[in-house]
Amino acid sequence: MSNHNPFANLGFEDFKRLAQDESLSKFERIGFPDSYRKGQEENIFSDIRSKLSLLEAQDMTVLDIGPGCSELPVMLIELCRAHRHQLHLIDSAEMLGLLPEAPFIQKTAALYPNCPETIEGLRGKVDAILCYSVLHYILVDTAFFRFLDVSLSLLAPGGQMLIGDIPNISKRKRFFACETGVRFHQDFMKTTERPQVEYNKIEHDQIDDAVVFALLQRARAQGFDAYVLPQAANLPMANRREDILITRP
């Protein structure tokens, strides 16, 4: 059941190094083999837009936590340009340096949420927060609930936060335990062996159902609505990843 991803188990400092490695593709610099993302990001961005609906409004304040340097943040930049949004990007200086500059873009070089001036300036003012394919790195790099609590404090009334592309090991196990998942594994790995699935086993440094539900419960306890959403079926890892949408009433 190995994902054969040579970019697994990375942290913030690792991504700073990857961003400067010109031998890597833009997808490899954000921790994905090309086969996982190349030709897929238009579908991914369409799925994001369907959930983070305030991106379709005008004159919003938008925050992207850990945008990386692939095509996805460039799509977001162009959408924000078209809709007259103010866009805030928080990532390492090395990643941010690979993204376009524009008057409506404010870049903060930091390991979020360790950027107190930016946080204070945005408190209660952000209409849409995007954090995509980042949560599993936050789990390793920073205090998990602090990340959530600070993010929720930034949302304006009616604001939305999408924590997207969450690799939930529990969902992954359920998938590889079913016949569809078995065939997927056998086709992908070119093997006749069935994937090994172990339930009721704690996987250290992995997100599981307990983590996902804890995030929902903590957000709801602070007066926010929170939901687990499936990814669109045409996304590359929809069978083993999912999203969380949090809204401020």
Mean pLDDT, contiguous 10-residue spans, the chain (249 residues): 52 82 86 83 97 98 96 97 98 96 98 96 98 89 90 98 96 91 83 86 88 97 98 94 97
Residue type, 190: K
Domains of the chain: 12-166+209-247 (3.40.50.150)
**Per-residue pLDDT, 7:** 52
The CA–CA distances, whole Å, from 100 to 20, 62, 80, 94, 233 equal 16, 16, 13, 13, 31
What pLDDT score does 208 carry?
94
Tell me what pLDDT residue 173 has: 93
The per-residue pLDDT for 5 is 47
Closest CA to 32 of 12, 3, 1, 74: 3
Question: What pLDDT score does 9 carry?
Answer: 66
Bridge partners, residue 44, by sequence: none
CA pair distance 22, 231, nearest whole angstrom: 31
Torsion of CA 19, 24, 27, 29, to 10 degrees: -20
Q: Global pTM?
A: 0.90
Number of residues that this document lists for the chain: 249
